[in-house]
Amino acid sequence: MTDNFEKHNDFIDLNLVEQYIDQQNWDEVDKFIQEMTKGKSEQEIAEDPYTYYIKAKREIKLLNLRKAKTHLDRALSIARNREINSLILRVLLESLQLVLFNLVSQVNTGNMTECRRIIKNLQEIMKINNQEDKLISVINQIEDKTKQITDMENQSDIRQLVLNIQKEVKKLILLQNDSRFVESTNDAIFPNQLIILHRSGIPIKRYVKEKKIVDDILLFGGMVRAAKDIISEVFTTEIGKVMEINYGEEIKILAEFGGKETGIVMITRKDTFHQRKALHESVIELNKIEFPPQFHGEIPESTEHEIDTIIRQWFGEGYQGEK
């Protein structure tokens, strides 16, 4: 693998294949791996850390965590030998998520030691990579929260804290990917509008950032609702996959639905990985919220607060919520 390939893939293609893995689009993942290994000898493939990283991500999605750890360890070893610091950072973040997953079920000395070791390595590699202060601040907060675990006795409280730490790690991954795109494009990568949509087609709430691109919320709720066959397929076989609609020359509409009740329609001027990743993760969180069987559009304040929190977590501040 050439240096040029490494640099190109580390900023673009790896993000794309991670998106395919999140969507469980295994055909595209396999195509990507085939392209990466095309024309290479068995020895070259065996020394390619990117292939191990992608295989690890796939195993994580399939919950084969032991296999995932084996692939991550191999990817980390090769990446360190070749000093591919950006890939080392990715691998360490995934490794930290695996350890946290184990901590949810069992807090022991081995898991805690491994967790602290990975966090220390992350702090070091972030400094080497000259990561932004906000990323270093997040990993330091994760370290502080992890230290609290050893002083806790109630297993339920420990699980809740570990789950909160996992969310912080996901935010860190998103921030890291965000910073790469900002470095390479310097473009704004936040959607103009977000419409929370019930599977019936009823808009639940809209979030607007700055000036509205399009003013009619019912237009977009109706647009997705009118595509009856598409919605039906999304809620049965295409859960977690993004629908894309070009609305004129300068407006992109992305929509994703979860396995239960809700989805998000995103209106933006530019399609970016950051937005798609935030869309995917926020839809997962939204579908943990329970809605009544017969939904007519009204939601209690507590539910609205939950939705507001999810939107802020994945898309940041600056959005004005409208019903």
CATH number listed for the domain at residues 193-322: 3.30.450.70
In this prediction, residue 68 carries a pLDDT of 93
In this prediction, residue 161 carries a pLDDT of 85
CA gap 102, 84 in Å, rounded: 27
Phi/psi of residue 74, each to 5°? -70, -45
In this prediction, residue 59 carries a pLDDT of 92
Can you state the percent helix, strand and coil of the chain, rounding each to 5? 65, 10, 25
For the chain, give every domain's residue range: 3-185, 193-322
How many residues are recorded in the chain?
A: 323
Of 1, 102, 4, give the one whose Cα is nearest residue 53.
1
Mean pLDDT by 10 residues, the chain (323 residues): 40 70 84 85 90 92 90 94 88 90 79 89 83 78 85 80 82 66 46 83 82 58 49 53 71 80 83 78 88 77 90 83 73
CA gap 258, 52 in Å, rounded: 29
Q: What is the pTM of this model?
A: 0.56
In this prediction, residue 250 carries a pLDDT of 73
> Are the C-beta atoms of 290 and 306 separated by less than 8 Å?
no
Instruction: Point out which residues pair with 195 in neighbouring strands.
Output: 206, 265
CA gap 110, 132 in Å, rounded: 31
